[in-house]
Amino acid sequence: MSDLRPGTALPELKLPPITRHTLALYCGGSGDHNPIHVDIDFAREQAGLDDVIAHGMLVMAYLGRLLTAWAGPGSVRQMKTRFKAPTQVGDEITCRGEITELEGDGVRVSIAAVRQDGTVLADGTALVDSPS
């Protein structure tokens, strides 16, 4: 990896639009069975929402993919994310990262997941092994 310095952007990760199928798969695959993510009746009647919302951890998993696509499987030592806006069906998420600091043999990266209208859905930081 030639250009490891603050300000360097990671290759973007663009995801297909979130579908109800995406959320059903993540419900079963992650073990997070909160019906607010998959059951529109529950979301409306119990939670007072217009529709289901995506798992925050699905968005964080996409940010994890951004990092491992760049630095390799098992490279993520730490990551921290704030969930800033609910992710909805139809959202097209792009994950971005930028090096902020070199820390020994690791790299500190700022990360963000943004949808098509520019809304930041989640952002935070990560510490990953330097990509070789």
Partner 1 sequence: MTDPSAIIGHRFPAFEMTLEPGRVALFREAIGEPAQAEPGDLVPPTLLGFGFEPVPFDALDVFGLDIARLLHAEQELIHHKPCRVGERLKGQKEITNVFEKKGGALLFVTLKLTYRDEADELMAESIQTLVVRQEVAA
| Residues 81-110 as x/- pattern, contact with partner 1 by CB under 8 A | xxx---------------------------
In the complex, minimum distance from the CB of residue 130 to partner 1, in angstroms, rounded to a whole number: 15
Closest distance of CB 41 from partner 1, Å: 11
Taking the C-alpha atoms of residue 112 and residue 63, their distance in angstroms, rounded to an integer, is 7
Q: Residue 100's closest CA among 20, 19, 14, 4?
A: 4
Minimum separation from the CB atom of position 102 to partner 1 (A): 19
Confirm if 94 and 12 have CB atoms less than 8 A apart: yes
Confirm if 77 and 93 have CB atoms less than 8 A apart: no
Nearer to partner 1, 5 or 92 (CB): 92
Give the x/- contact pattern for partner 1 in 38-57, rule: CB under 8 A.
Answer: ----x---xx-------xxx
The piece of 2-10, 34-42, 97-105, 106-114 that touches partner 1 (CB under 8 A) is 34-42
- Per-residue burial over 79-108, b if 16 or more Cβ lie within 10 Å, else e, is bebebeeebebebebbbbbebeeeeeebbb
Q: Are 6 and 102 in contact (CB under 8 A)?
A: yes
> Would you tell me which residues interact with partner 1 (CB under 8 A)?
15-16, 22, 25-26, 28-36, 42, 46-47, 55-58, 60-65, 67-68, 73-74, 76-83
